Amino acid sequence: MSDSVLIGLNRKGNALLCYFWGETDCPEVVIATATEHVKRAIAENWTGDEDSEETIKAMFEIASNDFSLGGRFKFEFEIGGAEFTDVCVNLAAHEGIQ
């Protein structure tokens, strides 16, 4: 997967809002503007390893998701979950976002 392309079918936005909740006191939000950002967020907030089978499966499911059918994709776990939403981010207004 290229670092300059963001995964998912029929996306309209330039980023994915990655929202993780569950076993932590405070949910984590990541604005991912590249596929590698999504993969890193999944590893850091869910699977623990960018190369794990679970990470690879999640990346495949997100890549296969048709975002025109609601604009989001969700995984739910016994405790918590992860949601990926197609969003438009004004990158000029957020210098720290790449």
Q: Would residue 9 count as lying in a domain?
A: no
Three-state DSSP at 66 gives strand
Q: What's this model's pTM, rounded to 2 decimal places? A: 0.85
d(CA 92, CA 27): 26
Among residues 47, 58, 51, 54, the alpha carbon closest in space to that of 84 is found at: 58
Give the pLDDT confidence score for residue 73 in this predicted structure.
93
Q: Would residue 4 count as lying in a domain?
A: no
Give the residue numbers spanning the domain of 29. 15-93
Question: Of all residues in the chain, what percent carry a pLDDT higher than 70?
Answer: 89
Residue 1: pLDDT band (50, 70, 90) is very low
pLDDT in tens, 28-76: 999 999 999 999 999 999 999 999 999 999 999 999 999 998 889 999 9
Q: Would residue 2 count as lying in a domain?
A: no
Q: Would residue 1 count as lying in a domain?
A: no
Q: Would residue 10 count as lying in a domain?
A: no
Q: Would residue 42 count as lying in a domain?
A: yes
Which helix (H) or strand (E) covers residue 23, if one does?
none
Q: Who has greater pLDDT, 60 or 97?
A: 60
Number of domains in the chain: 1
Q: Would residue 62 count as lying in a domain?
A: yes
